[in-house]
């Protein structure tokens, strides 16, 4: 409706005042509760061009709208309040109360691909809390873009090679005594992560020993035997040493099996998984291409670099002096491969804001230095860090919160809280605990604007009375209980409400909130911010609970009004379910 109003406003401005105005819905607001109206237009931006007072402009525009959209209006200073007949809202309700795809746009057959990369774990450690925000954000944005009609392809790039991988491999060789996931009854990714921490512990001890002998810290870090061996192992890996490659495959397979279990519990899936080991050679080929073109060069130490000072950046290494790859190398190759496979209109990378510089470089190197058209299709969906009450996480020191441990704790907290409140009277109670616990985790993270850093508070996230998933899930269960009661009593509320042609203010306000859902989904897609969905659904749940407390349903003697209120409840439950689904969160039928 706001789009329709904006389009009509554009025509009115042109016809009445010869003002050419680009359609913009931002000046159209929902009318404040203290005023009469459905939508409010702010007319002040047009007063100077129309050479009339705000009140006169508002009245003239209001008269135009009554002719074109068959609405009524009132003017409060420079604000034009439009009022549409109740039948508009009631017709909308009846058309959509059982439209299971309400809020979603069907993807056209010829819609080009929008590719989104998220997760991107390293195979030297399990997924942790920081990865959870990445995964939840990437998954939710994928769902939202699909709901906006985009042809979404979800991809994961596993960083399965490099010095960090070699550190875990070397530590296992030296200190593992043949330990396996089976022998230790440990998830494979956790086992490999254990040896990444083990490497760091011994490496620091070697640095300290060298420093005590008078070696500078900088030199000690380079000369420590473990680091020298790890770098040698990386060179052997790139030279296809069979022994190193065999160990690498074995340990990576342990990690993949662990990742799969974590992804499954999170409800995350991918259309395709790329591996750095399969793309870094493509990146090297692009580096060679840049050398031949003269846009890259060899530094004195033989590292291959690109000079980006003219772009306000600095010198960027594309290949190390020993010829081994860096992250930029494989990102160049991966982008090329994805373009060849999918020809995406946009390539979205969900990566934390500490990598902003990296993606600035990637876009410039591909789009300008190498003149690749797909370089301009790259979009970095940058997000803030997740922090804990006791500070930042450090993988190599073993101070991370593992994703698996966090999920287990959230499910346990859900069990404790629901048992305490008596909200577990369902058959599959363990499924309910998991739905509530993981829903609390997902919602608490996704309700925050992606660009902001956030503090994760498990206890706050599972509160049944705050801006949380459990509050919204309970509201959905309450509505479904109402609808079951209606069915058990043989009430056909859709039929009963058919005779109603007017709505009370409380009814109309809730219908108008429901009417906004498709626009909220579109805005969330445009901004790639699940927070818009989360906070809309929370406000809707709040509105419904107020409506439920203040407006009788089964005690209403007028069967038409009772039917209308049940139909409003039905669409509210549907919007809550569809909205929460866009966040990757399930809602229970009972609670």
Q: What is the DSSP string of 486-545?
A: HHHTT--HHHHHTT-----HHHHHHHHHHHTHHHHHHHHHHHT-HHHHHHHHHHHHHHHH
Give the model's pLDDT for residue 530.
Answer: 98
Q: pLDDT 10s digit of each residue in the chain, 591 long?
A: 888 899 999 999 999 999 998 877 788 888 888 888 999 999 998 999 999 999 999 999 999 999 999 899 999 988 999 999 999 999 999 999 999 999 999 999 999 999 999 999 999 999 988 899 999 999 999 999 999 999 999 999 999 988 999 999 999 999 999 999 999 999 999 999 999 999 999 999 999 999 999 999 999 999 999 999 999 999 999 899 999 999 999 999 999 999 999 999 999 999 999 998 888 889 999 999 999 999 999 999 999 999 999 999 999 999 999 888 888 998 999 999 999 999 999 999 999 999 999 999 999 999 999 999 999 999 999 999 887 766 443 444 445 688 998 899 899 989 988 877 766 666 788 899 999 999 999 999 999 999 999 988 888 888 888 899 999 999 999 999 999 999 999 999 999 999 899 999 899 999 999 999 999 999 999 999 999 999 999 999 999 999 999 999 999 999 999 999 999 999 999 999 999 999 999 999 998
Q: 122: helix, coil or strand?
A: strand
| 16, 21, 80, 97, 516 from 62: Cα distances, Å | 12, 17, 7, 31, 22
Give the model's pLDDT for residue 16.
Answer: 94
The domain defined by 118-397 folds into Rossmann fold (3.40.50)
Three-state secondary structure along 302-313? CCEEEECHHHCC
Q: Where are the alpha helices (DSSP H) in 100-241?
A: 129-147, 163-175, 181-184, 188-212, 217-223, 225-238
Q: Which of 69, 140, 165 is nearest to 525 (CA)?
A: 140
CA angle 128, 133, 135 (to 5 degrees): 85
Beta bridge partners of 122: 159
Residue 538 burial by CB count (10 A; 0-12/13-18/19+): exposed, middle or buried? buried
Q: 107: helix, coil or strand?
A: coil
Q: Whole-angstrom Cα distance, residue 172 to residue 199?
A: 9
* Cβ proximity of 511 and 95 under 8 Å: no
What would the two tokens of residue 252 be?
């990576």
| Cα 265 versus chain centre, distance | 17
Give the right CATH number for 2-84 from 2.70.70.10, 3.30.1360.70, 3.30.70.141, 3.50.30.40.
3.30.1360.70
Q: Which of 357, 327, 338, 304 is nearest to 161 (CA)?
A: 327
Give the model's pLDDT for residue 423.
Answer: 66
Q: Residue with structure tokens 């009375």?
A: 465
Phi and psi for 102 in degrees, rounded to 5?
-55, 130
Q: Whole-angstrom Cα distance, residue 437 to residue 458?
A: 10
What would the two tokens of residue 532 be?
């818009």
| Residue 25: DSSP 8-state | G
CA atoms within 13 A on the CB side of 135: 23
The domain defined by 405-581 folds into Isoleucyl-tRNA Synthetase; Domain 1 (1.10.730)
Beta bridge partners of 128: 402
Q: Residue with structure tokens 């940058």?
A: 382
Q: Whole-angstrom Cα distance, residue 41 to residue 298?
A: 61
* Cβ proximity of 310 and 365 under 8 Å: no
Q: Whole-angstrom Cα distance, residue 144 to residue 154?
A: 12
Give the model's pLDDT for residue 371.
Answer: 95
Phi and psi for 116 in degrees, rounded to 5?
-130, 125
* Cβ proximity of 144 and 525 under 8 Å: yes
H or E segment to which residue 349 belongs: strand 346-352
| Domain locations in the chain as residue ranges | 2-84, 118-397, 405-581
| 190, 191, 193, 257, 551 from 186: Cα distances, Å | 7, 6, 11, 11, 55
Length of the chain: 591
Burial 541-568 (b: 16+ CB within 10 A, else e): bebbeebbeebebeeeeebbbbbbbbbb
Give the model's pLDDT for residue 90.
Answer: 94
* Cβ proximity of 332 and 365 under 8 Å: yes
Q: Report the DSSP pairing between strands 346-352 and 315-319.
A: unpaired
Residues with Cβ within 8 Å of 316's Cβ and at least 6 positions away in sequence, in order, are: 305, 306, 308, 328, 361, 365
pTM > 0.75: yes
Q: Whole-angstrom Cα distance, residue 524 to residue 534?
A: 10
Q: Whole-angstrom Cα distance, residue 280 to residue 288?
A: 12
Beta bridge partners of 100: none
C-alpha dihedral (326, 329, 333, 339), degrees to nearest 10: 110
Say whether 405-581 and 2-84 share the same fold.
no
* Cβ proximity of 222 and 215 under 8 Å: no
Residues with Cβ within 8 Å of 174's Cβ and at least 6 positions away in sequence, in order, are: 202
């Amino acid at each position: 409706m706001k789009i329709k109003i904006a389009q009509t406003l554009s025509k009115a401005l042109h016809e009445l005042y010869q003002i050419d105005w680009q359609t913009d819905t931002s000046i159209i607001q929902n009318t404040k509760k203290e005023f009469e109206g459905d939508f409010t237009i702010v007319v002040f931006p047009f007063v100077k061009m129309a050479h009339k007072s705000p009140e006169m402009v508002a009245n003239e525009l209001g008269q135009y709208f009554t002719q074109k959209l068959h609405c009524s209006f009132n003017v409060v200073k420079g604000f034009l309040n439009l009022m549409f007949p109740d039948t508009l809202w009631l017709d909308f309700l009846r058309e959509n109360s059982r439209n299971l795809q309400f809020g979603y746009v069907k993807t056209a057959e010829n819609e080009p691909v929008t590719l989104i990369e998220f997760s991107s774990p390293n195979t030297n450690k399990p997924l942790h809390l920081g990865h959870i925000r990445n995964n939840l954000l990437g998954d939710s944005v994928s769902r939202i873009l699909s709901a906006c009609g985009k042809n979404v392809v979800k991809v994961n790039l596993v960083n399965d090679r490099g010095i960090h991988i070699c550190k875990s491999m070397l530590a296992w060789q030296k200190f593992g005594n043949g330990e396996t996931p089976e022998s230790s009854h440990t998830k494979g990714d956790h086992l490999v992560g254990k040896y990444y921490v083990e490497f760091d512990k011994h490496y620091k001890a070697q640095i300290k020993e060298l420093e005590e002998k008078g070696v500078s810290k900088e030199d000690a870090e380079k000369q420590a035997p473990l680091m020298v061996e790890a770098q040698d192992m990386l060179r052997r890996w790139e030279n296809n040493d069979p022994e190193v490659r065999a160990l690498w495959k074995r340990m990576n397979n342990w990690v993949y099996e662990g990742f799969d279990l974590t992804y499954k519990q999170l409800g995350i899936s991918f259309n395709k998984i790329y591996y750095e080991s399969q793309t870094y050679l493509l990146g090297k080929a692009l580096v060679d291409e840049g050398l031949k073109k003269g846009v890259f060069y060899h530094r004195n130490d033989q590292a291959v670099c690109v000079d980006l000072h003219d772009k306000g950046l600095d010198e960027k290494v594309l290949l190390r002096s020993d010829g081994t790859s860096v992250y930029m190398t494989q990102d160049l190759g991966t982008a090329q491969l994805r373009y060849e496979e999918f020809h995406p209109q946009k390539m979205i990378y969900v990566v934390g804001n500490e990598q902003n510089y990296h993606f600035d470089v990637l876009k410039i190197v591909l789009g300008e230095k190498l003149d690749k058209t797909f370089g301009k299709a790259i979009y970095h969906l940058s997000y803030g860090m997740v922090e804990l009450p006791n500070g930042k996480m450090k993988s190599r020191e073993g101070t991370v919160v593992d994703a698996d441990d966090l999920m287990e704790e959230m499910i346990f907290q859900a069990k404790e809280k629901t048992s305490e409140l008596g909200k577990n009277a369902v058959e599959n109670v363990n499924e309910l605990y998991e739905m509530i616990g993981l829903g609390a985790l997902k919602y608490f993270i996704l309700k925050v604007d992606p660009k902001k850093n956030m503090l994760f508070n498990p206890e706050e996230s599972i509160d049944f009375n705050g801006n949380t998933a459990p509050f919204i899930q309970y509201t959905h269960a309450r509505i479904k209980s109402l609808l079951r009661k209606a069915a058990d009593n043989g009430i056909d509320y859709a039929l009963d409400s058919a005779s109603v042609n007017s709505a009370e203010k409380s009814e109309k306000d809730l219908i108008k909130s429901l009417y906004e859902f498709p626009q909220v989904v579109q805005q969330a897609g445009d901004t790639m911010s699940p927070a818009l969905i989360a906070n809309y659904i929370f406000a809707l749940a709040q509105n419904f609970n107020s409506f439920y407390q203040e407006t009788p349903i089964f005690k209403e003697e007028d069967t038409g009004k009772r039917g209308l209120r049940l139909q409003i409840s039905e669409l509210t439950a549907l919007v809550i379910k569809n909205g929460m689904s866009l966040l990757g969160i399930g809602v229970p039928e009972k609670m």
